[in-house]
A = this chain, B = another copy of it.
Amino acid sequence: MSVATMSRESSAAPQTGRAARLAARTGQFKGATAGVAPGFVQGNLAILPNALAGDFLRFCQLNPKPCPLLAASSPGDFRLPTLADDLDIRTDLPRYRVFRQGELVDEPADIRGHWRDDLVAFVLGCSFSFEEALIEDGIELRHITCNATVPMYRTSIATAAAGPFHGPMVVSMRPMKPADAIRAIQITTRFPAVHGAPVHIGKPELIGIADLGKPDYGDAVPVNADEIPVFWACGVTPQSVVATVKPEFCITHYPGSMLVTDRRNTEFAIM
């Protein structure tokens, strides 16, 4: 999941997935993609050497709620035709992060210089897709109201391990009135490919969260007395897990600067 919010919308922002990618590709757009190309699916990016790809694929398969895999490239292939015909994963995101042995070594706008023949690109669904559906239903998202990043927490829920990949599930939290929480469960159930239904509701201590006011990522947001916290599996989980593994080489999107695809959010609604 992005650590930006959907509230930073700009009237000058690209309005389609293709326009967003072209603007990133030509260097015209290097910012956060929240509010860019409304209605189009955005995704988290993880690029790993092929030696780790099999384990990472298994990890995603075992943990579909935090790691909803939208596409994986062939080794060395920088295209992802199921997400967009013209997509070049090396140039089409506004900004990237490059890691060696777990150390951040570069934050380029283009990774053609870092590309290798053994790299596999993974694109994972992000909460922008289901948040759009919640907003369209009239449900308030507190972090957007507060112009903040959604609060995220490491939990006591373990992911299922695959090879070197293991670690706690990270969740995002949205406080809601109980009737909205029930509606939000119904709506996000329709989107299993982008985190789906919540993994927890109420009582944060049951999943190892001691203080909602102290998120591990993102910003704290107020939870009112007539609200309960609702927790979704979060795309920061694979980022955190990959960071723990300290792979020899790894590239991710820059926080908030996601891949914008040609797929529509509505395509991922199962009904």
Collect the chain B residues with CB atoms within 8 Å of residue A181's CB: 201-202
Please give the distance in Å from A178's CB to the nearest CB on chain B. Answer: 5
- A202–B182 touching, CB < 8 Å: no
Please give me the residue from chain B that is nearest to A231 by CB atom: B178
What's the nearest-Cβ distance from chain B to residue A227, in Å?
9
In the complex, the count of this chain's copies comes to 2
Contacting A200 at CB < 8 Å: which of B179, B185, B271?
Answer: B179
Interface size on A, as a range, is 10 to 19
B186 touching A200 by the CB < 8 A rule? no
190-240 of chain A: CB within 8 A of chain B = 197-203, 206, 226, 228
What chain B residues lie within 8 Å of A16 (beta carbons)?
A: none
A73 at the interface (CB under 8 A from B): no
A50 within 8 A of B: no
A110 to chain B, nearest CB (A): 42
> B residues within 8 A CB of A179?
199-200
- Flag whether A189 is at the interface (Cβ < 8 A): yes
